[in-house]
Structure 1
Amino acid sequence: MFPGLTHVELSQLMIAIQPAHLAQGRDDDDEEARDMARAELLRRRLALADRNPN
């Protein structure tokens, strides 16, 4: 699906999305909001990686 994405890049991406909910000003205790923010950022980053395989 994302052939240009290495294991290291995937690991870095997963670390990068961890604080996504805080960047959006969402409550740290709201697990659903946290997961939605992370999923949204992950989708955007993967779509960008898919368009720019380098």
Structure 2
Amino acid sequence: MLFIVAAFLLLGVLVGTAAHIPVGATFAAAAVICAWLLVFAVRERKHHRQGS
């Protein structure tokens, strides 16, 4: 999952909108997305363990 976030960050910096905003804002957005994915993964894992 973190590999996907890193890949999208690199792609965004090279060719996307992230190329037009400051680097700090790009990394801040990447951190927010990473945190959201981490929370989602933990909630899904918890949900599937309770259901079994």
Higher gyration radius (CA)? 2
Unaligned runs of 5+ in 1: 1-8
Unaligned runs of 5+ in 2: none
Q: 1:52 corresponds to which residue? A: 44
Q: Which runs of 4+ in 1 moved over 2 A?
A: 9-16, 26-29
Structure with larger RCO (C-alpha < 8 A, sep 6+): 1
Structure 1: distance between partners of 2:19 and 2:2? 26
Task: Give the number of aligned pairs.
Answer: 41
The percent identity for this pair of structures is 17
Which of the pair is proportionally richer in helix? 2
